[in-house]
Structure 1
């Protein structure tokens, strides 16, 4: 029966807080050589180090993470990883930020197991709800900013001085939209968009 202690750290490239996670794991203590770390942006969850760690884990081992959301990016994924690690692999999990989520002390007592499962489900749900709320607040913030006239993206190209004359020629069918765009040194779509916006 193996009894190794492993740690997993995940940080996004934007939010560099790996030091806090590493210090917490070292204090547990998790041997430095047994700490696996992925640096990923929120949208990219391809986790090479996590996969390496999963291949190493054996029944009787212990996996330590600072927070529950290190295991997954949403409610279903966290619960699925928890199930695979604890039930399929027979590995204990310790979540440092949440002492209730320490399977070393559960499993023998039905009530403790029930409480840990319940806490896990609630925390996973709360973590996902918070992420969804952040996305919703961002969407609402962008919509409110647009109403105030804030422009997003690249600044608009100013209209060339000869635009009105070329538009007049195009409107009176003296030139095609393609020719108008060529004379203005812009894409045909840009010329037609300018026309629509006037």
Structure 2
């Protein structure tokens, strides 16, 4: 079982690594070792997300993805409207 960390900020001026220590502490408390970090500066509403797509390509079944919060992965779901989210 591999553990991946994913960190994203919308712009280069924001610190994508701001949650790294928190995720490392969570992993340590749960006896997990993060195998690889994916860090990028792209809007969550954009499909231009090379690190996210690299993560999807590399991740294996049974792996664990650690993120600060779900919207760090994508905000595209919110475009569907409240009645269509999380179905």
Task: Settle same-fold status: TM greater than 0.5.
Answer: yes
Match of 1:11 in 2: 9
User: In terms of Rg, which structure is larger?
Assistant: 1
1 or 2, which has the higher strand percentage? 2
1 or 2, which has the higher helix percentage? 1
1:36 counterpart SS class:
strand
CA RMSD of aligned residues (A): 2.5
Q: 1:62 to 1:13 in 2, by over 3 A?
A: same
Q: Of residues 42, 48, 68 in structure 2, which corresponds to 1:46? A: 48
Match of 2:72 in 1: 70
Contact 1:7 1:65 in 2 (8 A): yes
1:60-83, CA deviations, whole angstroms, 9 ceiling, x for partnerless residues? 111111111012123267xxxxxx
Match of 1:60 in 2: 62
Match of 1:22 in 2: 20
* Moved segments of 4+, more than 4 Å: 41-44
Please give the TM-score of this superposition, normalised by the length of structure 1.
0.33
Higher relative contact order (CA 8 A, sep 6+): 2
Q: Find the aligned partners of 1:12 and 1:27 in 2 and give their Cα distance.
A: 24
Match of 2:30 in 1: none
Map 1:22-171 to 2 at 5 A.
22-29=20-27, 30-31=33-34, 34-41=36-43, 44-75=46-77, 121=86
Gap runs ≥5 in structure 1: 78-119, 122-198
Matched residue pairs, number?
76
1:82-123, CA deviations, whole angstroms, 9 ceiling, x for partnerless residues? xxxxxxxxxxxxxxxxxxxxxxxxxxxxxxxxxxxxxx83xx
